[in-house]
Chain A
Amino acid sequence: MSAFFNTLPGAVAQGMIWGIMAMGVYISYKILDIADLTVDGSICTGACVCAVMVVGGAPVWLAMLVAVLAGALAGVLTGLLHTALGIPSILAGILTQLILYSVNLAILGGKSMVSLAGNREDLLLSMSNNPSAILVGTISVALLIVVLWLFFYTEVGLTLKSTGDNPDMSRAQGVNVKLNKVIGLAIANALVAFAGALLAQYKGSANINDGRGAIVIGLAAIFIGLSVSLKIKPNFVVSLIGVVGGGIVYYIIYSIVILMGLKTDYLKMLSAIIVVLFLAVPYLKGEYFTKRKPIPLPGEHDAGGDGHA
């Protein structure tokens, strides 16, 4: 039990970072209704850009800003592949992810890893100081939620929501649906890259394999979070808080599973199983466990019919 409490701060700190990434996934998956697989690449891009720039002597805020812009650019690429070239959104995301693998290698200078071990004092957070990492995470989450909340209630932000919710209605109301998808994917991947930049600092390194399976972790965080937050109050801010909370819960489960002695090799499979469960349970409930109304017998029928079908 005490082992669990020892790992808890680390789980919370990491969970917050992945929760920020999950907010990005929330924007693409829930708001734009696009399963954007770019994130596996853009989180790594964020980590690589941040690490390489800090090692190169840039101040950490600048490194993070450039990381965020790089993420946004990745989102724009996916958006353009989808909207301007007509590639299905899932495939567009996969293609960008593949492109980013090469790009990330190039950023890392052909190496598979860049260490931040020599730059400890430049960084905002580190796994050697979890309480301060949690503080940085909390402040970041709070700021991001406020900014996103303000943005999604502006004239532009409302049309971003309607774009995902009903593209036909949006076009009929003069909304440029294609442009909105590009903007939305840029914002989503900017958030993801921001999480990547935090992750690199927390871990003290950027690795070419960082972020593999990130989309699944993001979806798991969303499903865990929304399963609670939608019951409390189904609005935007509560949903975002729920999503970050989902990321934290995910990492707590993760650390418990490790403590129970599961080989870390199986953790990706565990993430996938969580997502499968959250997607399958509501479906199966609807499919097999809903009581059907009995068909009324002739004569039992409501007599108000007027012949219209």
Chain B
Amino acid sequence: MLKLTNLQKTFNPGTINAKTALSGFDLHIAEGDFVTVIGGNGAGKSTLLNAIAGVWKPDYGTVQIDGVDVTNMPEHKRARYLGRVFQDPMKGTSPDMEIAENLSIAARRGTRRKLIWGCTRKDRETYREMLAQLGLGLEDRLSSKVGLLSGGQRQAVTLLMATIRKPKILLLDEHTAALDPKTAAKVLEITDKLVTENKLTTLMITHNMHDAIAYGNRLIMMHEGRVVVDVSGETKKQLTISQLLGLFEEASGSAFSSDKVILSK
């Protein structure tokens, strides 16, 4: 479903601030895989998602989604294959527009937008049912501006937007990191439900080792722009945090360093 070949990206090349975020990165993800991605500060996790989403072009290498080479496809065209949720809850929704309008923009992702009514009464009925499934009481607030919602509610709406039109790949960029623990757990629960129900191929970056192990069927750990640990299936299910740290030290030759990850163990 997703094939990354020899991806390379250096930021600020040729300057003293040059930073190689991805160096010869290869990754193959099968259809239906739910992959959690973990790694230290500056390991290249977000760079990886941005490369897939097309925020910028890689220096070398190719990105293939479902057999289509999208390496040179601009971000808004690539969007038809992707559902994205950002770390910043403000980033995924349009605050000055209604919940229903946000959803209807997402529901037409990848289609040719026409000069016909953009959010019909029938749409609203559908959205009401979908929102009810989230269990956040948003089904009665279809006409509320999204800017009035809390961070957790906005992430839940963004998740719904990302999956309302089944994406080939769902990209989650630490989407619970900015939320309080209780809300984060709720959003993760919704995430898992949507992914499982729709059998979505998913790439989820997280800073929480426990979540990385608990969710998904495959876990990759990144270090200096490469994959250093890649476990799946039964091995992943049996994994413990200390084993994971051990694997990391073995593969990278250094102790795992991320304040966020260590603190949230």
Contact = CB atoms under 8 A, between A and B. Distances in A.
Interface string B105-124: 11011100111111100000
Contacts of B77: 174
Contacts of B76: 170-171, 174-177
Interface residues of B, number: 37
Nearest to A166: B94
B119 A153 contact: yes
Given A174-B80, A174-B109, A158 B104 contact: yes
Interface residues of A, number: 25
Contact of B115 (A156, A171, A306, A308): A156
A161 B97 contact: yes
A151 interface: yes
B168 interface: no
B57 interface: no
B224 interface: no
Contacts of A308: 180-181, 264
B99 interface: no
Nearest to B264: A308
A276 to B, nearest CB: 25
Contact of A161 (B79, B84, B94, B113): B94
B23 to A, nearest CB: 27
Interface stretch (B27-35, B85-93, B134-142, B212-220): B85-93
Contacts of A131: none
A178 to B, nearest CB: 9
A161 B96 contact: yes
Contact of B113 (A159, A166, A171): A159
A256 B1 CA distance: 69
B114 A156 contact: yes
A84 B115 CA distance: 25
A104 interface: no
B105 A165 contact: no
A154 B114 contact: yes
B7 interface: no
Nearest to B113: A155
A162 interface: yes
Interface in A280-309: 306-308
Contacts of A106: none
A161 B105 CA distance: 10
Nearest to B179: A308
A166 B117 contact: no
Contact of A154 (B84, B93, B115): B115
Interface string A207-221: 000000000000000
Contacts of B203: none
Contacts of B93: 166, 169
A174 B110 contact: yes
User: Quick one: which of A151, A153, A162 has the most chain B CB within 10 A?
Assistant: A162
B95 interface: yes
A301 to B, nearest CB: 16
B92 A169 contact: yes
A153 B117 contact: yes
B174 interface: no
B125 to A, nearest CB: 17
A172 B119 contact: no
B211 to A, nearest CB: 14
B118 A158 contact: yes
A264 to B, nearest CB: 39
Interface in B53-75: 53, 75
Contact of B105 (A158, A168, A306, A307): A158
Given A154-B118, A155-B114, A165 B79 contact: no
A106 to B, nearest CB: 35
A173 interface: yes
B75 A162 contact: no
A157 interface: yes
Contact of A168 (B91, B102, B110, B116): B91
A162 B105 contact: yes
Interface in B9-61: 53
A156 B75 contact: no
Interface string A137-170: 0000000000000010111111101100110111
Nearest to A177: B76
26 contacts: A153-B118, A153-B119, A155-B104, A155-B108, A155-B115, A156-B113, A158-B118, A161-B94, A161-B96, A162-B94, A162-B105, A165-B97, A166-B95, A168-B86, A168-B92, A169-B94, A169-B102, A170-B105, A171-B75, A171-B76, A172-B86, A173-B106, A174-B110, A175-B79, A177-B76, A307-B263
Given A154-B116, A173-B79, 9 more contacts: A154-B118, A155-B117, A156-B118, A158-B97, A162-B97, A165-B96, A171-B79, A174-B77, A308-B180
Enumerate the 9 nearest inter-chain pairs by beta-carbon distance, A residue then B residue, closest first.
Answer: A174-B79, A155-B113, A158-B118, A162-B94, A174-B109, A165-B94, A155-B118, A166-B94, A172-B84
